Structure 1
């Protein structure tokens, strides 16, 4: 299903949170010391796993909670 999110999948809202904060993915990559490519994988919902330390760094940089960054689609 290209372009559709399947029910029960985790969606990373990094793109939405960046827009709300007026930040770019490059800005975030610098703040959390991760490569742009690795953050792009998360942004495009192609990630399979994330380290808790990385998750904590992203949430700190975006001033958000894990539940604001990662959501499970139910429908």
Structure 2
């Protein structure tokens, strides 16, 4: 399963979710859904904008964990 580590990157950059939402141009609700893992998909353009705003790589935000169920 894919795990979103956006909260960790935001903390490292000392950036609030609202500030990132403004820089990326998406709503706080959509960004919050991504951060909490409730989102089922992300557009590459959104991922690109997030990486640009946070000066990071997609792998800093998204991780794969094997589901052991």
TM-score calculated relative to the size of structure 2 = 0.92
Larger relative helix fraction: 2
3-state SS, counterpart of residue 57 of structure 1: helix
Q: Would you say 1:34 and 2:40 are equivalent positions?
A: no
Gap regions ≥5 residues in structure 2: none
TM-score calculated relative to the size of structure 1 = 0.85
Gap regions ≥5 residues in structure 1: 1-8
The C-alpha deviation readout for 1:7-56, integer Å capped at 9, x for no partner, is xx111111000000000000100100100000000100111001100000
- The root-mean-square deviation of aligned C-alpha atoms, in Å, is 0.9
Q: Would you say 1:62 and 2:54 are equivalent positions?
A: yes
Report how many residues are paired. 67
